[in-house]
Amino acid sequence: MASRPRPLSLLAPALAVLLLALVLAPLAAVGWRGAGVSLGPADAAAVRFSIAQALLSALFSTLLAIPVARALARRRFPGRSALITLMGAPFLLPAVVAVLGLLAVFGRSGLLNQVLLALGFPPISIYGLHGVVLAHIFLNLPLATRMILQGWLAIPAERIRLAQSLGFRPAETFRHLEGPMLREVLPGVAMVILVICLTSFAVVLTLGGGPSATTIELAIYQAVRFEFDLARAAGLAGLQLAVGAVAALVAWGLARPAAFGAGLDRRLDLSAPDGWRRWVDVLALTMAALFLILPLAAVLLRGVPGLLDLPAAVLPAAGRSVLVALVSTVLATVAALTLALASSRRTQPLAEAAATLPLATSGLVLGTGLFLLIQPFAPPMRLALPVTILVNVALSLPYLYRILLPETRALQAGYGRLAESLGLQGWSRLRWLILPRLARPLGFGAGIAAALSMGDLGVIALFAGQQQATLPLVVSQLTGAYRIEAAASAALILVTLSFALFWAFDAGGRRAAA
């Protein structure tokens, strides 16, 4: 009888313990250093602003996504697939590039203010609460649209056919089909976006309007970089952890599909009413497309002329960013695959905890804890890149794990007994069974991890000096110095490298699976 794969059964718990230690040790350092620290009125204002901007961002992103998702669900037109693909791009887009694109359209010298001045109206300012909310809508509207669109597409075809046979008008279709789906889906969508916005850093760093527009994350950064008040930074990090954990638990409890019952997986589109509703759908899709495309096009137009005259810091920073992204991706992929394979055989609470716990924290909170742990023994600046890699691994692991877990369970259910009977174990099992069958999700997950690591601006902002700066930090520094053309050129390189890494891993996985 073939023996069970003992190495994996021992490796997975050991790896889970290491990952938990990577998250819990910095959190413990934050809790120990921040215990008993009294936070002042400015810190209370940062908490209020963090929650307010996250609530407003989640509310507007979710509400604005509803007409866009409905139009995509019930209309068929040339370019629909491309528009749906575009809806996935901002998730991979570095936040600092998104901010730069919004500045090119809505900033002091942006396209909108030029039009307003030409018409005789006063210019508007993008800095402050409204600018932060606008940037978060830009980044999260596509995510909300994709999530709500999945809810529409999940309505069983039998329910749609029944509604059509009964002659339901659009109002009745909304009341009996679309409304119940939205009541189930929208709370989870809003809470997921709320969690994302609570841990936003690059957006507030660039668009925050001074002390009145400071989030907890930005206050942590200021306490470490400018005041070197580690106790206050630890106290703020503990507070951020508590707020993020509560929001993550609520999001986890609310995110569930609509309960329409099972269907037969037949494809049937919703009815597409004509008249004024057709023009409402056209307007929603047009406005969403322009809102997403104009900032990216502005970065492209501003960045191309300066590519031949880049600042000296850009290319070395790009090389460091690619190195960090590649190492982070390899480590995160190996860790996620190991934990997912172990969980596919039997319930692994330790693996679930290791892959879920990072969702309750943020890169800046982990960075603060690691700063506290390292600072007594070595200059943190010297370890900026290794620490950034470790934090990137921890933060990208939940995405990879959730992508791989359903596939590993299906693999175990379909081929596990056959592999056991053939004595296929160890490297042979990995080479001939696991990697070929999981190549597609592995490539997709690795692409997401690489793009997220490439565009991360969090822990590197705490640790790095000029010799350790990555490309997102250089873009942020150029933007802060109002060198917008140079920042646009660097941002163009950043977004090109991010999407190139995603494409390379994703395409490689699809080719290996073919």
Report the CATH fold assignment for 1-36+310-514: MetI-like fold (1.10.3720)
Question: Quick one: CATH architecture of 44-304?
Answer: Orthogonal Bundle (1.10)
- Left if phi > 0, otherwise alpha if psi is -120 to 50, otherwise beta: which for 426? left
Across the range 473-501, mean pLDDT stands at 87
**Nearest Cα to 285, choosing from 59, 113, 82, 98?**
82
Across the range 56-60, mean pLDDT stands at 93
Q: Does position 469 have pLDDT exceeding 60, yes or no?
A: yes
Determine the angle formed by the axes of helices 129-153 and 95-106, rounding to 10 degrees.
120
Is the pTM higher than 0.85? The answer reads no
Residue 253: CB atoms within 10 Å = 11
Q: State which H helix or E strand residue 299 sits in.
A: helix 276-303
Across the range 86-90, mean pLDDT stands at 72
**Nearest Cα to 90, choosing from 342, 289, 259, 261?**
289
Q: Of residues 264 and 142, which shows the higher confidence score?
A: 142
Say if 1-36+310-514 and 44-304 have the same CATH topology: yes
Q: Residue 353 has what pLDDT?
A: 79
* pLDDT band with cut points at 50, 70 and 90 for residue 253: low
Cβ 487 vs Cβ 100: under 8 Å: yes
Cβ 156 vs Cβ 263: under 8 Å: yes
**Per-domain residue ranges of the chain:** 1-36+310-514, 44-304
459 burial (CB, 10 Å; 0-12 / 13-18 / 19+) is: buried
CA angle 260, 262, 263 (to 5 degrees): 105
Q: Residue 110 has what pLDDT?
A: 81
Q: Residue 323 has what pLDDT?
A: 94
Radius of gyration of the chain from its Cα atoms, rounded to whole angstroms: 24
Cβ 487 vs Cβ 479: under 8 Å: yes
Across the range 246-263, mean pLDDT stands at 56
Q: Residue 478 has what pLDDT?
A: 87
Span 413-426, pLDDT tens digits: 766 666 666 666 66
Q: Of residues 316 and 89, which shows the higher confidence score?
A: 316
Span 98-118, pLDDT tens digits: 888 888 888 887 888 888 888
Polymer length in residues for the chain: 514
Span 231-243, pLDDT tens digits: 787 788 878 878 8
- Left if phi > 0, otherwise alpha if psi is -120 to 50, otherwise beta: which for 470? beta
Q: Residue 268 has what pLDDT?
A: 47
Beta strands in 269-411 (DSSP E): none
Rounded distance, CA 170 to CA 412, Å? 45
Across the range 202-216, mean pLDDT stands at 78
SS (H, E, C) 240-282: HHHHHHHHHHHHHHHCCCCCCCCCCCCCCCCCCCCCHHHHHHH
Q: Does position 285 have pLDDT exceeding 50, yes or no?
A: yes
* pLDDT band with cut points at 50, 70 and 90 for residue 184: confident
Span 352-380, pLDDT tens digits: 778 777 877 778 888 888 888 888 888 87
Rounded distance, CA 287 to CA 296, Å? 15
Q: Of residues 219 and 259, which shows the higher confidence score?
A: 219
| Residue 80: half-sphere exposure toward Cβ, Cα within 13 Å | 14
Q: Of residues 429 and 242, which shows the higher confidence score?
A: 242
Distance of CA 177 to the CA centre of its chain: 30
Across the range 389-415, mean pLDDT stands at 81
